């Protein structure tokens, strides 16, 4: 398969080889997207994140059709919270913090119903699922090793939230030599101004962190 190009990407065309490209879908979990999870416990309007699920589903379908590698991440912790430092756990309302019981089970704990990826975006056989204890997907995980095994050089990002886990992972990837692109309409923040600022940060100064594009910009505009 020949090299493809997203001609309308910003700040310049984005060229990539689909054989060495992975879509990374960050933290599209019930705990962040549905009422009763950690996102709502922090005082956020979760409908802002739920609104991108159809667009992420379109991007995921496109990536599968194009035979990209696909990675899903979940921010999650061990049941004993040994991988969750107090500086992180002590956020949110009392009795609605990481590890506490909520409407969808213990918040951000692996194996609990709320920690699952929303049904519309569920991984399929052969797709990589990374459970990460931090905001960046490379920290304390095997993501780097798994991408290397697959020969991945280019990463396309979607998911939530734009300014926290998505941006952190893109910056980690940039430092590791990956060429990165964020799909603007397949990412969201609880605070829309933060998303807008992050998109500008990523592609500023000639693409200091990476490129951005929309679903309509993808090859063929078919996503």
Active-site pick, 165, 180, 185, 195 = 165
115/75 Cα distance (integer angstroms):
8
103/114 Cα distance (integer angstroms):
8
Instruction: Please tell me whether the peptide bond between 11 and the residue prior to it is cis, using omega within 30 degrees of 0.
Output: yes
By C-alpha distance, which of 146, 191, 162 is closest to 28?
162
By C-alpha distance, which of 72, 219, 218 is closest to 159?
72
**Cα atoms found within 13 Å of the Cα of residue 46, Cβ hemisphere only:** 16
In 39-92 the beta strands, taken as DSSP E runs, fall at: 69-75
Is 88 one of the annotated active-site residues of the chain?
no
**Token pair listed for 68:** 């990209």
Active-site pick, 10, 27, 55, 135 = 27
Active-site pick, 10, 55, 132, 180 = 132
Q: Looking at residue 118, what DSSP letter applies? A: P
Is 132 one of the annotated active-site residues of the chain?
yes
Q: Name the residues annotated as catalytic.
A: 27, 132, 165
């Amino acid at each position: 398969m020949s090299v493809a190009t997203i001609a309308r990407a910003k700040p310049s065309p984005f060229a990539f080889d689909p054989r060495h490209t992975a879509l990374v879908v960050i933290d599209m979990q019930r705990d962040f997207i549905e009422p009763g999870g950690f996102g709502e416990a922090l005082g956020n309007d979760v409908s802002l994140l739920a609104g991108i699920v159809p667009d992420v589903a379109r991007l995921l379908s496109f990536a599968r059709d194009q035979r990209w590698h696909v990675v899903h991440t979940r921010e999650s912790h061990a049941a004993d919270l040994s991988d969750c430092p107090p500086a992180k756990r002590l956020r949110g309302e009392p009795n609605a913090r990481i590890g506490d019981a909520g409407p969808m089970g213990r918040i951000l704990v692996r194996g609990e119903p709320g920690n699952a990826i929303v049904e519309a975006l569920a991984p399929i056989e052969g797709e990589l699922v990374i459970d990460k204890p931090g905001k960046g997907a490379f920290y304390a995980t095997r993501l780097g090793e798994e991408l290397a095994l697959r020969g991945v050089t280019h990463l396309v990002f979607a998911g939530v939230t734009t300014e926290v886990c998505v941006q952190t992972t893109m910056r980690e990837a940039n430092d590791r030599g990956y060429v990165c692109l964020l799909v603007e309409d397949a990412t969201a923040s609880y605070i829309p101004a933060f998303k807008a600022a992050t998109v500008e940060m990523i592609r500023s100064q000639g693409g200091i962190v990476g490129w951005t594009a929309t679903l309509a910009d993808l090859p063929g505009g078919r996503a």
